[in-house]
Structure 1
Amino acid sequence: MLPGVKQFDMTGRVAIVTGGSKGLGTAMAAGLASCGADLLLTSRHADEAEAAAAEIAENFGHRAVGIASDVTDPVAVEAMVLRALEEFGKIDILINNAGINIRGPIDELTYEEFKQVQDINVNGVWLCSQAVTPYMKQQNYGRIINLSSTLGLVGLANRTPYATSKGAVAQMTRALGLELAPHGINVNAICPGPFLTPMNVPIAETKEAKESIVGATACQRWGELQEIQGAAIFLASDAASYMVGSMLVVDGGWTAK
């Protein structure tokens, strides 16, 4: 018989989730923990990462460790990987979730703001993926899940830094997926639409959000955090073994229009 739901069992798997202390990161981490995975959560703030890890461990009964890490710093990224190996002995899954968004018309943004978004959203994904690859190659198994966005697929005014970064993540996912598939490592991306995360709270009640963002979805509402969990569980599991360089869109129908 075919394995069915057993493919989603992650007992014994170890996952790193960057930006795992809040929003989509915590939701995806909790989803993996509910399937049996042990976790290393990172944030720029150790106390927030530790608190999120403690709550997940208490709720799901699996080990979860929270640490401070800066995905733009190669030394910090290597330390993150070594900590995961010290705590758990291996790394099976990486979710590259850490990211920022700086909004505004191009003539009102600074070049430094543009570079800051690229550094975290693009360079951070590359650095973390590079750091885990040798260990995943050794075990001939791995899952790398990058967070792109609907804005990696379609455009939106006043979002040049963010849309540029997420388009780059989509292409990095495709290229890296082709590179690592022969080593048993599947690289894919999730493209979330408008979820009411801490990043989006500041614009939630604006006219633009109601008309051009939430209003652009078929569901006519913000996504709820639990609605990202299924995509993360799928791509992190053995069920996604034939998924390579794919964009899994979770956007309430935004890009279907």
Structure 2
Amino acid sequence: MGAPTLPWLRAVLTGLVLLATTGWAAAQLPASQWYFGRQAGLDFRPGRPVPLTDGQLTTFESCSSRADSLGNLLFYTNGLTVWNRQHQVMAGGTGLPGDVSAAQCLIVPQPGHGDVYYVFLPAEYNQPTGFRYARVDMRRQNGLGEVVLRQGLLHGSSTERVTAIPHQNGHDLWILGHERDSDVFFAYLLTAQGITAPPVLSRDGFVHQGSQVVGQLKASPDGRRLALTAGTFTPPPGKAGPAWNYWTSIRPRAA
């Protein structure tokens, strides 16, 4: 049999691309709707960003949104207030211990509990209140959700950074942050039973102090590397730039 014709090959390649694209899009659906800024928003489900004008959130920096596996909005927050999918303040959704000027906050599902979510809230630069969290139960209020815990204190010292990395077991999550006035990263394990303490502590990089506590933290897709931004400062010897992105290879391990 001769080589396949070009139209046949094109059809196969097109099918593979569509499968890959569909898989990628499905994986992104829980993060497909963004609410940020002053009642601004974007919907990425159509394949290109479409403006959303129904959001109630107002913030300088801190914001996080969550949708379900089909891309349907569940709730969003600015670190102080939580709004449900109807853009109303969620039951119990005021008085969260975050700050609209903190660089990051993060919503993640609790492993093994598809209707329970944790909201992680790092401290703001001028408010060294520690690394805190809230918990949302979407089974409450006829599916509109309820904040069932608002003031959980996880770590006493925190910069404005937070990120999550999947555990190697494929189920649990590492929740990462960085201490203030320290070179210590902390990592708490989130499981079906809740948050596991004590954390894994890793010393690396430089001491985050002053304006250096401002910035963001992001993990690579495989969870093996971290990148962070820090406020203007003098970089360590051999590093260049006032906004040096520090890469490190730390990966927390289960005890």
TM normalised by structure 2 equals: 0.31
Normalized per residue, the structure richer in helix is 1
Larger radius of gyration: 2
